[in-house]
Amino acid sequence: MKLERVIQRKRTIRAIGFDDAPFVRGSGGPVSVAGVVCADTKFEGMVWGEVRQDGWDATDVICELLVDGKFLPQLHLLLLDGIALGGFNVVDLPELHRRLGLPCVAVMRDYPDFDAVENALTKLPEPERRLELIGRAGPIHEADSIFFQVQGAQPDPVRHALARLTYTGHIPEPIRIAHLIGAAVKTGESGRRA
C-alpha cells in the first residue's frame, strides 16, 4: 500500500531506518550498517551489513539487505541518517527508490553546510561524482526541527510520516534505534546523539 494511502487510512507505517556504526575515519576499512524496522515507533526487526568507507557500494548494500528478504514487502518507507554511509559513501537516492519501489528519504539533523561538504569531498576520489549523487537526491525540505530529501513521494506525506515515526526527540525511531544499536555493537554501549 502506498505511503499516502497508509496515512489517509491511519494505518501503521512500517519503515526501515539505516545508520552506520562508529568507525575510525581514514582507516579505509569496512563500516558496519544497521537497518532497523519499526511499525510506527515500535521496533520489529533489523538487518546488518557493511559498506566500504568512502566507497561506492552503499546503494547496492542496502538493496542486497532488503531484496528477497522478509521485510521489503511489508515496508512503506526507507529512511537514511543523511545521504551517505561510512563517511562519503553516497547513496543514489533515485536509484534506491527505483530498485526497491519505496519512497526513500535522507534525514538530516541540520541544514547541510555545502561549502564544508565540497571541501571534504576534495580529499576523496571523484568528488564531482559524489556531489552529483548528493544533488540527485533532490531539494531539501524542512519538517519540524529536521531536514530531508526524498525520492518516490511528495514532501507533505513524508513530513506526516516522519512525525508519526518519531517518539522522542526529533529523529524518527528507525534511525534513532539503528544509531543506538550500531554504537552498542561497535563500542560496547549506545551513543549519545540518537
Instruction: Decide: 52 and 89 in contact? Cβ < 8 Å.
Output: yes
Which band of pLDDT confidence, cut at 50, 70 and 90, is reported for residue 48? very high
- 51, amino acid identity: V
Per CATH, the number for 3-185 is: 3.30.2170.10
Mean pLDDT (the chain, rounded): 94
pLDDT tens across 53-101, in order?
999 999 999 999 999 999 999 999 999 999 999 999 999 999 999 999 9
The DSSP call for residue 75 is -
Cβ of 123: how many Cβ atoms within 10 Å? 10
Q: Which of 170, 168, 165, 113 is nearest to 144 (CA)?
A: 170
Strand pairing category for 104-108 and 146-151: antiparallel
**What are the residue boundaries of the structural domains of the chain, listed by start?**
3-185
Nearest-5° Cα angle at 33, 189 to 76? 110
